[in-house]
Amino acid sequence: MAKGIPIGARGEAEETVEFKHTLTSHHPELPPVYSTPDMIRLMETAAFHALQPYCEGDEITVGTSINIEHRAASRIGTRVKAEAALESFDGRFYTLRVTARDEKQEIGRGTVGRAVVSIGKFVERMKGGSGSAAREIPRPARENAGLRDDAPPGK
């Protein structure tokens, strides 16, 4: 299990908005502004950077939940920075407060959840024919994600 992670542990990630990060890249009739999925990806990366220094051995953290508001648009060429700070934890589950800002303003905010997993165990579970790595996620997170133990694999 990851060594003790202090409340307030921080991480960040930055990128310059390119065409591939825009709504237009997904559909030509949409405007060329930073997409919500790309902003969330950057926030998740910042959260990963906040927790990863505390993981041990083959541990990493993986996303388990998101609650994000995308509040302002950013155009191509704009520099966006996401920051994450650990707000709380319950066992191997962590909640981080995240924000994203461009050069002018806050463009998004919310929380992301992450869980510590062993890469080796995760990969073995995928190879083992169980059909789903979701079983690696303990019951509270599975229930929050709408997963049931009696659901067929992949559901």
Can 44 be counted among the known catalytic residues?
Answer: yes
Written as six digits, the tokens of 117 are 């997993």
Q: Give the strand order in the sheet containing 93-101.
A: 10-16, 79-90, 93-101, 106-118, 59-70
Exactly one of 21, 22, 44, 61 is catalytic; which is it? Answer: 44
Can 27 be counted among the known catalytic residues?
Answer: no
Exactly one of 70, 83, 99, 136 is catalytic; which is it? Answer: 70
Exactly one of 14, 24, 36, 45 is catalytic; which is it? Answer: 36
Can 99 be counted among the known catalytic residues?
Answer: no
Q: How far is 91 from 136, CA to CA, in rounded Å?
A: 14
Catalytic residue annotation: 36, 44, 70
